[in-house]
Structure 1
Amino acid sequence: MHEDIVRRWREGVVEGFTWLAQRGAQELALWYVGAVAIRGAGFLAVRGGGIVRKALRQGKEAASGWLRTMLSRVSQSEGRAFERLWAKVQLEGERALTTSERSELRALMARIEKLASTPLDFGEKHGLRKAARAAYKNVHSDLARTMDAFPERYPVHHRRPLEYAHLFPEQDVNASSRLAVVQDFIHERVSRVWTKFRTAQRTATRDEVDAATRIIDSHFESWYHRVEVPRGEQAFIERAEQAALEALRARFPKVN
C-alpha cells in the first residue's frame, strides 16, 4: 500500500488523489508519511514538534499507524481540516497554501503534538479499543470469524494499557505488535495483575511501565493469539498469575 501511494504521489497527483479520495481520510495518513519520506525532515509536514518528527521518522508502517491513530483522536472538524489542507498540498503543491492555511496546518500538527502526550479520556479509550479490534482482525484474519461470533469471549488486549499511552507519545498504541486476543477468563487475570501494579505505582514512569509489560507478557504470552484455550489449563493460568505477581513484587516492592 505504501509503495503504491509513493508511486502515485510521484507520478500523478490528480490521478492519485482521485484514487485516494475513494478510500477516505484514514489512507491520507499513509500518503502524508510517503510525502515526508520523499521530501525529508525539512518538509512543512513535520514541523509540528519533536514528538511529530520522531514519530514520522520511525519507518513507513510505524509512522503511518501512529498518524492514523492520532487523527482518530482529533475532533471531526480538525480531521476534515487536515484532509482539506493536505489534499491541497497534494493537488497543487506546498506553495499553493496561503499564509493562513500554512498556519492552520502547522497549528494542527502542534495540536497533535500536544495530544500525543495527554492522557486518554474515556471516549478516546473506547474509540481506540474499537479501532484496535478492527486492526487486529485485519492482521489476524484467521481469528476474525471466531472473534465476530463471540465478541465478549475474545477481547483484544492492549499489552501496554491505554492509560499509559501518553508516556509513549511517539508510539502507536494500536500497533499490531502491541495487541493480542486472549480469552475472557485469561484477560481477567492479566487485568488483575495490572491493577496490582497500577495501585502500587500510581505515578509510574515510562521505564516502569515497560518493565511491568515485559514481566506480564513473559508469564501470559503463551495464551496470546489463541481462541481455543481449554478450561483444563486453568491451573497453569493461575500459576502464571501468581508468578507474574511475584516477579512484579521483586521489581516493585509496593505491589501487594
Structure 2
Amino acid sequence: MDGIEPEEDIPAEEVGRDLPPPWETRDTGADEDTRRAETTAALSGMRGVASHVEEASTRLVFRFWAQNGVLTLLSWKRDAAGTGSAGKSAAFAPGLETHLPTYVETRTGEIALTFQRERHGWGLRALTTSESSKPLEARTLPVRRTGVTADTLAQAHAMATQLAKGLRVPDGGSATVLADVLLDDERVLGATTARYASHGGAPIREPSPELVAQLTQAILPFTHGLGPRTVRLTLEAEHHRAERHARWRVMEAETLHPAIEAPPDLVAEHYALYEHILREWREETQDAFLQAGVTSSEFLATWFISSLALRGGIALFEAVAPRLAPILARGGSEAVAWFRSFLARVRPAEREQFHRLWTKAQTQGLSVAEKEQLRKLMAHFEKLLDAKLGRDASDDLRKMAHKDFYGKFHTNLAKLLLDERGKPYPVHHRIPLEYAHLFERLNINARENLWGVHEAVHKKLNNIWTAFRRAKGKANEQDVQKVAAIVDRHFGRWFNQRYEASHSASSLTKAEADALDEVKALVDLLLK
C-alpha cells in the first residue's frame, strides 16, 4: 500500500472490527421503566416550583422538549400574583403522572403545560405543542433517576444562599433582578447578577429566609439537562413598611441559547455522544463503555475533538500537550480524522487510560494525581509524533485506509476496482506510512493521500519507493514530497482507474523506468 511493504489481502472480516458502543446493542424495551421515571422526575420538579406559589388563580407554564419519552425543561414562567392566598396544599394535577407518559412517548418537539392554582390545589389547564428545533441541552435517552443527587441539591442550595445574600429592596419599595445560574450537566456551578433595578430609595431590606428554598426549587428541574449552559432567573420583590422582610418571587426561569461557532455537525455529534457517555458512565456498565471506547478509534476521536471544541477542554489540553493542541484545536471533521489515524500509534492500554482520564475530566473533573497521569500520558503521545510507525500501527492504518477508501471516500469504486479474482484493488498511500513521522500535521489516511491501484501498478510503486530507501535517514519531508510528485506524474493515469493489462503493460513498464531514473538521481544527490 505504501510501497515499502508488499500489499497483503485484507479479509472482509478483518476490516473495521471496532466494537460498537454498548448503547447500540441495548434492548430498547428495557427503557419502559426509565420513561416512567422521566415523567416522575419532571412532575417532581414542577411540584417543587409550585410549592412556593400560594396565591389563588396564579398560573404556571412549563415548557419542555419531549423526545423518546424524555422531558427536558426549557423554561417555566408564572403570571402576576393572583387574588389572595389559597392556603397550603400538596395536590398537584392529580392523575397527570398516569397519563403524561403515554402522551409524551410518541412526541418529539416542544410541549407546554399550563397549571392554575385553585383553592384546593393545582389543576392542568392546557397542554399545547409547537414546532421548534431541538435545543442542545435536551436529552433523548431516558434515565432511571426520579430526583436529583445529594451533591446537586447541596450545590443548588449553596448557589441560592449566596445569591440571596446580595439581594436588597428599598424600604417600602420594589426591585427586579436578572440572575444567571451556571450549570454543567447536573452540577450547579454558581450564579451572577446580570441586572438589578430598584424603586423607592436606598436598598436596605433583606429578603425573607424562604427565598433560599424558592431559588433552590426554581433551578433544580433544569439540572436534568446536558452540557454547560446558563439559566436566567427573573426575580421581582416588594417591601411593605409594616413587614420586616421583603417579599421576593421568582417569576421566570429560562435556559439561554447563545450562538456556537463550532461546525453544526460536530456540535450535534458531540451532544449525541456525550449523552450516551453520561448514561453509560453513570448508570450502566462503565467497563463495557470503556472497552467500546478503546476499540472504536472513530468514536474516541469524535468524542475527544468535539469536547475540545465545545466543553472548554482545549485549555487543559494545551497545558499537557503543546504540540498536539494546535493540530487538534482546528476542530471539525479534519481534526477528528487526524486524531483517529494518530490513535493507531497508541497501545490499547494507553488508549484505555486516556479515555478514562479524559471522560472523567469532562464529566467530573480530575484529581491532582490524575492530572499528573494525564500530563505524563500526553508527553508520551507527543513523542509518538516523531517516532516511526511500528508494524501493528501500520497494519491498523492499512485496514482503516482500505475500509475508508471503499466504504466512505469512494463508494462508487467499490464495484469498479475489482481484480480478476473479484477482490478490491490495493489502496496506495501517496505519502507512505514509513514517512508519516515526517509529516506531523498530515492525516496519513486522509482521502487525498489514498489511491486505489491495480496490483500490477502497486508493485511498480513499491519498486519506486524501495529505490528511495537508499537515502535512509538523510531524506526529509521535502524529499519525500519530491518522490510523491514523481510517482504522481508517471503513474497518475492509473490511480482510481480500472487497469487493462493488454493496453497498459508496456506503458506501465516505461513509467517505472522513467520514475526510477528520477528517483535514483535524487538519491545520489542526497548521498553526496
Per the normalisation by structure 1, the TM-score is 0.83
Deviations 1:36-68 (A, max 9, x none): 234679511233434302321445233211211
Deviations 1:149-197 (A, max 9, x none): 8586611111111111111123221112111110000001111111111
Deviations 1:231-251 (A, max 9, x none): 121122222222222333454
Contact preservation (8 Å) 1:47, 1:109: no
Structure richer in strand, relative to its length: 2
User: Aligned partners of 2:496 and 2:524: how far apart in 1?
Assistant: 31
State the match for 1:121 in structure 2: 390
- Tell me the SS of whatever aligns to 2:474: coil
- Tell me the SS of whatever aligns to 2:387: coil
Q: Within the alignment, does 1:6 sit opposite 2:276 as a pair? A: no
User: Aligned partners of 1:19 and 1:222: how far apart in 2?
Assistant: 50
Change in 2 beyond 3 A, CA 1:87/1:132: same
Segments of structure 2 that go 5 or more residues without pairing to the other structure are 1-262, 282-288
State the match for 1:140 in structure 2: 410
The residue type equivalent to 2:343 in the other structure is L
Change in 2 beyond 3 A, CA 1:200/1:233: same
Q: Within the alignment, does 1:107 sit opposite 2:379 as a pair? A: no
* Higher mean displacement: 166-175 or 181-190: 166-175
- Tell me the SS of whatever aligns to 2:414: helix
User: Aligned partners of 1:34 and 1:45: how far apart in 2?
Assistant: 13
Q: How far apart are residue 90 of structure 1 and its match?
A: 3.2
Contact preservation (8 Å) 1:154, 1:181: yes
State the match for 2:442 in structure 1: 171
Structure of higher RCO (CA pairs closer than 8 Å, 6+ residues apart): 1
The residue type equivalent to 1:204 in the other structure is A
Segments of structure 1 that go 5 or more residues without pairing to the other structure are none
Contact preservation (8 Å) 1:157, 1:180: yes
Q: Percent identity?
A: 32
* Higher mean displacement: 240-249 or 9-18: 9-18
Change in 2 beyond 3 A, CA 1:247/1:225: same
Q: How far apart are residue 11 of structure 1 and its match?
A: 9.2
User: Aligned partners of 1:71 and 1:53: how far apart in 2?
Assistant: 15
RMSD in angstroms over aligned alpha carbons? 3.1
Change in 2 beyond 3 A, CA 1:235/1:48: farther
Per the normalisation by structure 2, the TM-score is 0.43
State the match for 1:204 in structure 2: 475
* Higher mean displacement: 229-238 or 3-12: 3-12
- Tell me the SS of whatever aligns to 1:157: strand
User: Aligned partners of 1:217 and 1:12: how far apart in 2?
Assistant: 40
User: Aligned partners of 2:303 and 2:271: how far apart in 1?
Assistant: 11
- Tell me the SS of whatever aligns to 1:120: coil
Q: How far apart are residue 77 of structure 1 and its match?
A: 1.4
Q: How far apart are residue 79 of structure 1 and its match?
A: 1.0
- Tell me the SS of whatever aligns to 1:169: coil
State the match for 1:183 in structure 2: 454
State the match for 2:496 in structure 1: 225
Structure richer in helix, relative to its length: 1
